């Protein structure tokens, strides 16, 4: 039990009924989890409003209600009612207090941007751990606490869940946390209740604009910029055309990185690297740190990801040798993940699941002058049909051969999705084959790979399932590749 006033110590509030000195047994924001003597925070969500469950919460024994508007309660009920301006904002501070302010026990690094967040978090984790630190991670794919890997629901979890993860990380001996920070997470105050030691901006492009997301690009940029009012040091990509707008009103010390000669940390002399069955890039780092590095992933965006990680890790006194070693061997599941199947051609898995991401990837791979660029992909069911046309058009225009297959059909027929993709490819002169079964499609590209080919399996990335008719079936492309090679008698 803890006193409600202790949890409320960093929240601006008015007590409209009862006493804030009441003891509470739990902090709850989900009406299904209400228990006797808990503090129930009434939050207005997209589908339900916690204020509508206030009376039910009292009947179930809640001792304290935290509200942002009036609620109808049984007459004469024994409950403390706390009023605050924004209950979701308050929840972040209540959660931090409930878990004993764990962020204060570690260095917290937050990375925001349209692209590059996931890869950069793993690079930072790899470099810092190679240098002897113990690092927790929170991101799009998973949260990592010691040897526990927890699949992600949101890129940035609700504040209560996030603070719970922080508590577990601190208790497991983590001294650092690196996390992805989404614009939605910032807009919905999930990262309030603590101050980031470092906030990082990778880049921004129009995305996440629409119902239940952001009303326009200006709002999207403004939400990204909130990170730089909640961190001590801001590290930003000054090559991005919108970076000054994003950090407008910042309260942190700023550093810049990029290819620009004006950057505090600059990438220079980028060189593409091709080896049997793999691709990479090396470059020089100048300015705040001087060294030469190589990555085992291709293209200019790999330089940005590596440079961002270097900009962060130099604050921890990591040696150039540790940085070089880590970057050369680090890989991120489902993000330009090269799977060695042959010395003759290169095969990779990537999460590119919309036209913007796919175009960026294919344009990058074109720079390596492949014999053929082959793109295997599908599109998700029960999602915008426009995405299918766009991805088809991008692959038809940039790939030498598109192999159209199934992704997550959900409640749609896979062939109908494939037909939509073909309509997009039909706007180009690109060649394609259609093989609905994804394993057979992968078998096709492996068996027909020619020397110098680059083959991309796009769309699934880190996912290890296929969703069909409301059920998720195991399907990991790495497993499929292994099975195919074993069936060929090759093994890996």
The per-residue DSSP string of 23-69 comes to EES-EE-SGGG--TT-EEE--B-SS-BGGGGHHHHHHTT-SEEEESS
Handedness of CA 234, 235, 238, 243 (dihedral sign): negative
Residues in CB range of 268: below 8 A, 6 or more apart:
259, 283, 284, 285, 286
CA 471, chain centre distance (Å): 24
Residue 279 pairs in a beta bridge with 274
Output the six-digit token pair for 324.
């070089």
Q: What is the pLDDT of residue 468?
A: 96
pTM: 0.91
Q: What is the pLDDT of residue 210?
A: 55
> Residue 226 gets which letter from DSSP?
G
Q: What is the pLDDT of residue 221?
A: 87
> Residue 97 gets which letter from DSSP?
H
Backbone angles phi, psi at 196, to 5 degrees: -70, 140
Q: What is the radius of gyration, based on Cα positions, of the chain?
A: 25
Residues in CB range of 238: below 8 A, 6 or more apart:
256, 257, 258, 260, 262, 263
Q: What is the pLDDT of residue 403?
A: 98
Enclosing H/E stretch for 166: helix 159-171
Q: Residue 43 in contact with residue 33, Cβ under 8 Å?
A: no
Q: Which of 181, 311, 292, 320 minimizes the C-alpha distance to 239?
A: 311
Q: What is the pLDDT of residue 219?
A: 86
d(C-alpha 476, C-alpha 39), whole Å? 42
Letter string b/e over residues 121-149, b meaning 16 or more CB atoms within 10 A of that residue's CB: bbbbbbbbebbebebbbbbbbbbbbeeee
Mean pLDDT by 10 residues, the chain (492 residues): 97 96 97 95 89 94 96 91 97 98 98 93 96 96 96 91 98 98 92 98 73 70 94 98 96 98 98 93 97 95 96 97 93 92 96 93 97 97 93 98 97 96 97 98 98 97 94 96 89 47
Q: What is the pLDDT of residue 213?
A: 61
Helices first, then strands: H and E counts in the chain: 15, 26
């Amino acid at each position: 039990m803890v006193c409600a006033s202790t949890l409320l110590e960093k929240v601006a509030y008015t007590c409209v009924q009862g006493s804030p000195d009441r003891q509470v047994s739990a902090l709850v924001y989900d009406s299904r989890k209400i228990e006797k003597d808990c503090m129930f925070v009434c939050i207005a969500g997209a589908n339900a409003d916690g204020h509508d469950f206030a009376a039910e919460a009292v009947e179930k024994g809640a001792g304290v209600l935290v509200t942002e508007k009036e609620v109808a309660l049984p007459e004469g009920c024994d409950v403390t009612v706390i009023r605050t301006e924004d209950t979701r904002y308050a929840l972040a501070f209540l959660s931090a207090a409930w878990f004993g302010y764990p962020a204060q026990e570690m260095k917290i690094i937050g990375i925001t941007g349209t692209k590059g967040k996931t890869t950069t978090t793993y690079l930072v984790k790899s470099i810092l751990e190679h240098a002897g630190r113990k690092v927790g991670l929170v991101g799009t794919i998973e949260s990592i606490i010691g040897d526990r890997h927890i699949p992600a629901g949101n890129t940035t979890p609700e504040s209560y869940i996030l603070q719970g993860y922080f508590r577990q990380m601190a208790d497991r001996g983590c001294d650092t946390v690196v996390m992805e920070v989404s614009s939605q997470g910032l807009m919905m105050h999930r990262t309030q209740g603590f101050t980031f030691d470092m906030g990082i901006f990778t880049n921004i492009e129009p995305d996440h604009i629409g119902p239940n997301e952001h009303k326009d690009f200006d709002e999207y940029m403004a939400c990204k910029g909130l990170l730089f009012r909640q961190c001590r040091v801001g590290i930003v990509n000054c090559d991005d055309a919108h970076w000054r707008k994003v950090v407008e009103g910042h309260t942190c010390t700023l550093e810049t990185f990029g290819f620009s000669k004006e950057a505090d940390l600059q990438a220079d002399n980028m060189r593409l690297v091709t080896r049997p069955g793999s691709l990479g890039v090396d470059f020089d780092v100048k300015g705040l740190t001087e060294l030469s590095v190589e990555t085992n992933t291709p293209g200019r965006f790999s330089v940005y990801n590596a440079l961002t990680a270097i900009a962060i890790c130099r604050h921890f006194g990591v040696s150039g040798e540790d940085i070089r070693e880590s970057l050369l061997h680090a890989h991120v599941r489902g993000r330009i993940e090269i799977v060695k199947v042959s010395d003759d051609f290169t095969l990779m898995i990537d999460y590119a699941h919309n036209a913007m991401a796919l175009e960026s990837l294919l344009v990058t791979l074109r720079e390596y002058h492949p014999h053929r660029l082959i793109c295997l992909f599908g599109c998700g069911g029960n999602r915008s049909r426009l995405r299918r046309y766009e991805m088809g058009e991008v692959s038809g225009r940039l790939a030498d051969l598109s192999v159209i297959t199934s992704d997550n059909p959900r409640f749609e027929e896979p062939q109908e999705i494939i037909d939509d993709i073909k309509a997009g490819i039909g706007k180009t002169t690109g060649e394609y084959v259609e093989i609905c079964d994804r394993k057979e499609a992968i078998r096709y590209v492996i068996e027909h790979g020619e020397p110098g080919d680059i083959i991309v399996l796009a769309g699934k990335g880190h996912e290890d399932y296929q969703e069909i008719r409301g059920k998720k079936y195991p399907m990991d492309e790495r497993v499929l590749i292994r099975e195919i090679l074993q069936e060929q008698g090759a093994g890996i």
